Structure 1
Amino acid sequence: MTKFWNNINKFPRFLFSVIVGFFLTTFYTIFELLKEKNKRLTISIIIVVFIGIITMILRQMLGIK
């Protein structure tokens, strides 16, 4: 039973490392693309459009005007 509680105590650290690892691997490629001057504008436009679409979807789903 002690082994079970030790595993339960380790779970938050594991969950935190998985989440941080996901964001680091996801955003690393975006930051590498932003280093190139000709792709900076394209990536910025894609990010702004993506945030705008998500905002509009959430506003319509929640009924916020």
Structure 2
Amino acid sequence: MPKKYYLKDVVQMKKTHPCGSNEWKIIRVGMDFKIKCLGCGRIVMMPRSKFEKRVKKLISRQVEETEEK
């Protein structure tokens, strides 16, 4: 089962960005993810499948999870 990601979550990617940071903030969620590098501010958009393969771990969650009924 795929993990759920929310806006403003901070994730660690498997590869480091050329600026040296590997922490990214999620700024758009859907079929495509838009993430922002916390080191240099670069914004990258990628399909969900590629994003889920490249995420190493969730560092912090800004939004509390709500129960879906």
Which TM-score tier does this pair reach, normalised by the shorter chain?
A: under 0.3
Q: Hey, which of these two has a bigger chunk of strand by percent?
A: 2
Relative contact order, CA 8 A, sep 6+: which one is greater? 2
Decide which structure has the larger Cα Rg and report it.
1
Q: Hey, which of these two has a bigger chunk of helix by percent?
A: 1
